[in-house]
Structure 1
Amino acid sequence: MVENKEPITVIISRRVKPEMVKEFESLTSEMTERASRFPGYLGTTLFKPSSSIDPEYRIMFKFQDMNSLQEWEGSSQRAEILEKIEDLLITTSEREQVSGLITWFTLPSTNPITPPPRYKMSLISWLALYPAVPLIFWLFESWLIEFPMFIRIFMVTALVIVLMTYLLMPFMTKRFAFWLYPKSTPEDSDV
């Protein structure tokens, strides 16, 4: 069996009883704090409900690889808090696991979270990447020229990945949401 060594994101959707919101948020903070002590933990993002139309909390846990995620998910530290959290919910938690470039295309305000077709992800990634690479070379050219080619490529690609993950792809995903996540038509909802 081949181990999955790429980063894993778990997206959990929860609908909380209105009178239990404070307790839920407190337990969620405790859950995050406990997860942060586990090897391979990369971070958590909490999205609070955006409106009454979309009343779900979404929590994104990121882990270095599948083994790290499984260690956390099998832990007694997680199970103890999870049992308390489940008692505060209107319905049971929904869980989705994604990895790779798909994590660049998750919109916390859509439900369910479904990645767009690969051709759309590729095109939007390219539209973000194309101006970023020449800009980095233009801005840092005099400094980069001092290094051998492979080190230059290493530094530029590291910077591009950080820009893509934290700045460009969140911007592009929101900007092109109308195309990446088209609203379903009435005919679609009958399917």
Structure 2
Amino acid sequence: MPVDAAQRYRCATPVRFDGGMGSEPITVSIRREVDPDRIAEATVWVQTGVNLANRYPGFLGSGWVRAGEDSDVWHMLYRFADESSLEAWERSPERTWWLEMGKGFVRAERARRRTGIEGWFDDPATGSVPAVTDDTGSTPVALPPAPPRWKQAVSIWLGFFPVNLAFALLMAFVPGWEAVPLALRVLITTLVLTPIMTYWVLPWVTRMLRGWLVPAA
């Protein structure tokens, strides 16, 4: 069932970013099946989890969306600055207690972690999920869309070109480098530059270009 615009993430607090150059934010995507007769309880449960996670260092934001108005499938997303901060939350007694709370109405779940290139252009927001009642005045607000593909391509190029150029100039001083077969030179170049781009350059570039990639509303 397609997601209606009014079913999108509910946001109440500003987007926050963290981590210096060299950190690798981790986005965790979870699909949960919720008892349709206990939606109000599940909604409060989700907000409780957000409040608990928000106390942990490295928490960058979270959000959730239902697959449809009558769907019992919920997609949840949260993000931490790095592996260690995520593990601190996932191993915490608070999270264990929170998961136990939801066992009566969360019937199944499937989680997926995203790092590196999949998470470069993520823009997580801290979601506020108030209880659903007849007098609730909450208004769902859509998150900013992902940057257009051409902006993503420009961002990658802006990181790749200077790094590749610097490596080529540096290797020109290595005796015998030009005599190395082309295929082997390309292999060495990609082996060296791929982790540099993934773990340092592109996360830094996307942070520097955040205002252009995701303009303020």
TM, length-normalised to structure 1: 0.55
Alignment CA distance shift 1:55-1:78 (3 Å): same
Whether 1:12 and 2:30 are equivalent positions in the alignment is yes
Structure 2 counterpart of 1:6, which letter? E
Alignment CA distance shift 1:98-1:157 (3 Å): closer
Aligned structure 1 segments of 4 or more residues deviating by more than 6 angstroms: none
**Unaligned 5+ residue runs, structure 2?**
1-21, 123-147, 156-204
**Unaligned 5+ residue runs, structure 1?**
106-123, 133-155, 168-191
Identity %: 24
Structure number, greater radius of gyration? 2
Whether 1:59 and 2:76 are equivalent positions in the alignment is yes
Alignment CA distance shift 1:131-1:12 (3 Å): closer
Q: After TM superposition, give the deviation of residue 32 of structure 1 in Å.
A: 0.2
Describe the SS at the equivalent of 1:31: helix
Which residue matches 1:77? 94
The answer to whether the 8 A contact 2:26-2:114 is kept is yes
More helix by share: 1
Which residue matches 1:86? 103
Alignment counterpart, residue 31 of structure 1, candidates 37, 46, 49:
49
Q: Deviations over 1:111-154 (max 9, x none)?
A: xxxxxxxxxxxxx74x124678xxxxxxxxxxxxxxxxxxxxxx
Residue-pair matches, total: 122
Alignment CA distance shift 1:96-1:129 (3 Å): closer
Instruction: Measure, in 2, the Cα distance between the counterparts of 1:46 and 1:157.
Output: 24
RCO comparison, higher one (Cα < 8 Å, 6+) = 2
Alignment CA distance shift 1:69-1:25 (3 Å): same
Whether 1:46 and 2:64 are equivalent positions in the alignment is yes
Mapping of 1:1-191 within 5 angstroms? Answer: 5-50=23-68, 55-89=72-106, 91-103=107-119, 104=121, 125=149, 127-129=150-152, 158-164=207-213, 166=214
Structure 2 counterpart of 1:128, which letter? K
